[in-house]
Chain A
Amino acid sequence: MTRSKYADEQAGTAAAPGLLAPPSPADSVSLWLYRTMSRIRAVEERIAEHYPEQEMRCPVHLSVGQEAIAAGVSAALEPNDYVVSTHRSHAHYLAKGGDLRRFIAEIYGRSTGCCGGHGGSMHLIDLSVNMLGSTPIVGNIVPIATGIAFASWLKNEKDVTVVYLGDGATEEGAFLESINFAALKSLPIVYVVENNFFSVYSPLDVRQPAARDVVGIGKNHGMAGARGDGNDAEQVYELAKAAVDHARSGAGPYVLELETYRWREHCGSAYDNDLGYRSVAEYEAWRGRDPIATLERRLLERGTLDSEQAAQISNAYAGEIDDAFAFARSSPFPDEGDFGTVFSTAVPGR
């Protein structure tokens, strides 16, 4: 999906084709970022709207406010590149091209879901786009990602693996052990740390000393890395492009730390500033840095879009989302016989 930088971004030329279609390779990078983020936002806002109906009976960890990272990183990836993620994986899955219907059906616990109802929102997978799965045990996907990259390395394949992880996950030993191995073998992997300053309600300063620097930890292992504004999708794309190119070239692993902020509650659909674990001023400041509005302003300034087109894009996904929810709700639940197979090969005994 990687394309030359802002190739077709002369005023007026880019926005014309297929505004109402899903984000497409024909888009310029910036337009693709804008459309991808708008689509993710629209999907998650719809989840938030329906969650209180108690039909999505599983935990959901929304990425609202954090969409730029998923979009910017995905824009830098080739279709064959691999992605894995955490409990907060909706945006990563969608940006990589994961199937929307099967995602919503999974949250509804239906047999048509991407895990057939086994996983729920915390276990998204779409092998057709090399989204190889997400797991909610903090940090435990990081070695898996490293192993995927190791396989590419063993097979002399050029595919890059991206693993998304939170600031909390960098505190797990598995993260440090993984980057050590990745650096040792020069594996083609990018560790994308989404630093939203919180692990649940716990701010960074009760978990990490102020001087801790995750990019520096990578550097001390001889790894390249960078830190950036995770709410600036174009910047994320630039950084991710450099990181992915680096990894693909055989130069070894890369740590990308991107600062961002979760708008809604850690788990669930509501807002939770009333709990008092973070200040409303801080929250408002971050809302002022809405990644979608930020990019929209730029696109308007550059003349890539006019405001009517921007509004069209914001509304472009409602139909697709209606369809996905209708699909999910009309899909059958799995039945008892769909569960219980825990070995891939039939074996005698139990």
Chain B
Amino acid sequence: MNRQISYGEAIREATDQLMAENDRVYVMGLGVPDPKSVFGTTRDLSEKYGAKRVFDMPTSENAMTGVGIGSALLGMRPIMVHQRIDFLLLAFDQIVNNAAKWYSMFNGQQSVPMVIRAIVGRGWGQGPQHSQNLQAMFAHVPGLKVVAPALPADAKGMLIAAVHDNDPVLFIEHRWLHSTFGHVPEDMYETPLGKANVVRPGSDVSIVATSFMVIEALRAAEALAHEGIDAEVVDVRSIRPIDVDGIMASVRKTGRLIACDAAWKTMGFAGELIALAAEHAFEELRTPPVRVTLPDWHTAASPIAAGFYYPTAVTIANHVALMLGKSERDPESWALVRKAPADQPDLSFIGPF
């Protein structure tokens, strides 16, 4: 049966199944039980599992992260939810100094099985403090797992795997993915952390992407196919641990790497992919790899900025063309015309956020 549900619903279903399976799983976060239920991802859970296990929290991200860690030491399985990843910066200390280190710092006596869901905002004038993509900052820290699934089935499977996992996992959701649909099995299943996925096989170039950039990469690949270019799209899924073998197998095969990450360019994840290629696929590389990222400046609120700030399928397609020795093309000429303005994923998304 090919059941199609949304990415947001996949997260809700995974949480529901996890809570039914283990009464030590609890969900906390600002707005978790409110009428909007974090874009629907926690809908009805407080009714089903009670306010003790599904609850709103004080606007105290730092302390509440520590509370989650502390409870995890006694066997609880907290899922903490943030409407914006930017709010996690208040809890950087607890995440970096405690959650990531507890296991090794105390010589493996205890681990921290905590999951922190963080939503990455984009568009509709979110501005500099509500739209950051901070995965590289977190993934830089040993001991912290960082995943960013792009497809609904992976959102479900990876959330389940993350909650089952005994280490702290940061689970990154792009706001524009919540309303995307895909096949998601009804049963409970795990999608392993640390495994990339070839979502579109190809032979000419490897477009390796994270989170929402996978969607852009797939669109680019489709347009490139019309031009006779056969692009492979690799969904990284797990930023850390990173599937070096899986990703490099693709790069070695095609000899060309486009590293896509919807985060800043400098010191970022796209650079990490290129470093890995230099270490593991140097012999096979046929052209210098390229990063497709945000520019190194802060998200501006003005809608006009969305048009040149965010890399899109067109950006990717143009880079592929250049890499294959073709000339850069007028964006219009790619059959990739968006119906929605650049600050909206589709016309149904009309803010305020």
CA distance A159 to B56 in the complex (A): 39
Taking A171-B58, A172-B60 as given, write out 16 further A-B residue pairs in contact, using a Cβ cutoff of 8 Å, ordered by the A residue number: A57-B125, A58-B127, A59-B124, A109-B300, A117-B301, A118-B298, A121-B301, A122-B301, A138-B87, A173-B62, A173-B90, A206-B55, A277-B35, A333-B303, A335-B304, A342-B298
Q: List 29 A-B contacts (CB under 8 A).
A: A58-B125, A58-B351, A59-B125, A106-B301, A117-B304, A118-B302, A119-B127, A121-B125, A122-B130, A135-B129, A136-B127, A136-B129, A137-B86, A137-B87, A138-B59, A140-B90, A169-B59, A171-B58, A171-B59, A172-B60, A172-B62, A173-B62, A173-B63, A199-B30, A200-B30, A202-B34, A334-B304, A339-B297, A342-B297
Contact A109 B302 (CB under 8 A): yes
User: CA A208 – CA B56 in complex, angstroms?
Assistant: 11
CB within 8 Å of B: which A149-172 residues: 168-169, 171-172
Chain A: interface size category? 35 or more
Closest to B353 in A: A59
Interface mask (B298-336 → A, CB under 8 Å = 1, otherwise 0): 101111110011000000000000000000000000000
CB of B5 within 8 Å of the partner chain: no
> With A200-B34, A334-B300 in contact, do A268 and B305 touch (Cβ < 8 Å)?
no
Q: For the complex formed, measure the closest distance between the CB of A278 and the CB atoms of chain B, giving whole angstroms.
A: 10
A110 within 8 A of B: yes
CB distance from A84 to the nearest CB of B (A): 14
Most B CB within 10 A of own CB, among A60, A118, A139, A268: A118
Cα A217 to Cα B346 with chains together (Å): 47
Whether the pair A340, B351 counts as a contact (CB closer than 8 A) is no
Question: Which chain A positions have C-beta within 8 A of B57?
Answer: 207
Give, as a whole number of angstroms, the nearest-CB distance from B80 to chain A.
15
Q: CB-nearest residue of chain A relative to B299?
A: A118
Please judge, given known A-B contacts A59-B352, A342-B296, whether A117 and B305 are in contact too, CB under 8 Å: yes
A201: chain B residues within 8 A (beta carbon): 31, 34-36
Please count the residue pairs between chain A and chain B whose beta carbons lie under 8 angstroms apart in the complex. 144
Task: Say yes or no: B302 contacts A117, CB within 8 Å.
Answer: yes
Q: Which residues of B contact A59 (CB under 8 A)?
A: 124-126, 130, 351-353
**At the interface, yes or no: B350 with Cβ under 8 Å from chain A?**
yes
Looking across the interface, which residue of chain A has its beta carbon closest to that of B125? A58
- Chain A, residues 206-218, CB within 8 Å of chain B (1/0): the string is 1110000000000
B127 close to A122 (CB less than 8 A): yes
Q: Give, as a whole number of angstroms, the nearest-CB distance from B267 to chain A.
A: 10
Cβ contacts under 8 Å, B343 to chain A? 57
CB-defined contacts of B86 to chain A, threshold 8 Å: 137
What residues of A have a CB within 8 angstroms of the CB of B125 in the complex? 57-59, 109, 120-121
Distance A135 CA – B301 CA, assembled complex (angstroms): 13
A276-B301 in contact (CB<8A): no
Interface string of B123-138 (1 = CB under 8 A from A): 0111111100000000
Q: Mark B72-101, 1 if CB is under 8 A from A, else 0.
A: 000000000000001101100000000000
Q: How distant is the Cα of A230 from the Cα of B309 in the complex, in angstroms?
A: 42
Inter-chain CA distance A208–B298, complex, in Å, is 34
Complex: chain A residue closest to B58, CB-CB: A171
Residue ID in chain A nearest B301 by CB atoms:
A120
Nearest 4 Cβ contacts at the A-B interface: A58-B125, A120-B301, A109-B302, A117-B302
Q: Is A282 an interface residue (CB 8 A)?
A: no
Q: Judge whether B300 and A339 touch: CB under 8 Å.
A: yes
Whether a CB of chain B sits under 8 angstroms from the CB of A20 is no
Residue ranges of B at the interface with A (Cβ–Cβ < 8 Å): 30-31, 33-36, 55-63, 86-87, 89-90, 124-130, 266, 295-298, 300-305, 308-309, 343, 350-353
Chain B neighbourhood of A113, CB < 8 A: 302
A65–B352 alpha-carbon span in the complex (Å) = 20
- Chain B residue contacts of A202, Cβ below 8 A: 30-31, 34, 56
- Residues of chain B contacted by A350 (CB below 8 angstroms): 266, 296
Chain B residues with CB under 8 A of A200: 30-31, 34
Q: Are A109 and B301 in contact (CB under 8 A)?
A: yes
Q: Are A208 and B300 in contact (CB under 8 A)?
A: no
- Select which of A118, A137, A174, A275 is within 8 A of B300 by beta carbon: A118
Partner among A58, A171, A277, A334 whose Cβ is within 8 Å of the Cβ of B34: A277
- CA separation between A139 and B87, bound complex, in Å? 11
Q: Is the CB of B352 within 8 A of A268?
A: yes
Asked if A54 lies at the interface with its beta carbon under 8 angstroms from chain B, I say yes
Could you say which of A119, A169, A174 contacts B128, with CB atoms under 8 Å apart? A119
State the CA gap A267–B351 with chains docked (Å): 9
Does the CB pair B127–A123 fall under 8 Å?
yes
User: Which residue of the partner chain, among A136, A137, A168, A275, contacts B36 with CB atoms under 8 Å?
Assistant: A275
258-281 of chain A: CB within 8 A of chain B: 267-268, 275-277
Query: In the bound complex, what is the Cα–Cα distance between A179 and B69 (angstroms)?
Result: 27
Contact of A268 among B30, B87, B302, B351 (CB under 8 A): B351
Q: How far is the CA of A277 from the CA of B31 in the complex (A)?
A: 11
A336 on the B face (CB < 8 A): yes
| Chain A residues with CB below 8 A from B124, complex form | 57-59
A120 proximity list for chain B (CB < 8 A): 125, 127, 301-302
Contacts of B298 in A (CB 8 A): 118, 342
Inter-chain contact B56/A206, CB cutoff 8 Å = yes
Cα(A140)–Cα(B90), bound, Å: 9
- Cα A194 to Cα B140 with chains together (Å): 39
Task: Kindly name the residue among B87, B124, B130, B304 whose own CB sees the greatest number of chain A CB atoms within 10 A.
Answer: B304
CA of A115 to CA of B302, assembled, Å: 10
Find chain B residues with CB under 8 A from A173 CB.
60, 62-63, 90
Instruction: Judge whether B31 and A172 touch: CB under 8 Å.
Output: no
- Residues 95 to 138 of chain A near chain B (Cβ within 8 Å): 106, 109-110, 113, 115, 117-123, 135-138
Closest to B83 in A: A200
Asked if A267 contacts B352 (CB within 8 A), the reply is yes
B residues near A171, Cβ cutoff 8 Å: 58-60
A54, A115, A275, A340: the one contacting B350 at CB < 8 Å is: A54
Which residues from B are CB-within-8-Å of A136?
Answer: 127, 129-130
What's the Cα separation between A214 and B36 when bound, in Å? Answer: 28
Q: Which residues of chain A come closer than 8 Å to B303, judged between CB atoms? A: 57-58, 109, 333
> Which residues of the partner chain A approach B129 to less than 8 Å between Cβ atoms?
122, 135-137
Measured CA separation A215–B303 after assembly (Å): 41
Shortest beta-carbon distance from A32 to chain B in Å: 32
Asked whether, in the complex, the Cβ of A207 is within 8 Å of the Cβ of B58, the reply is yes
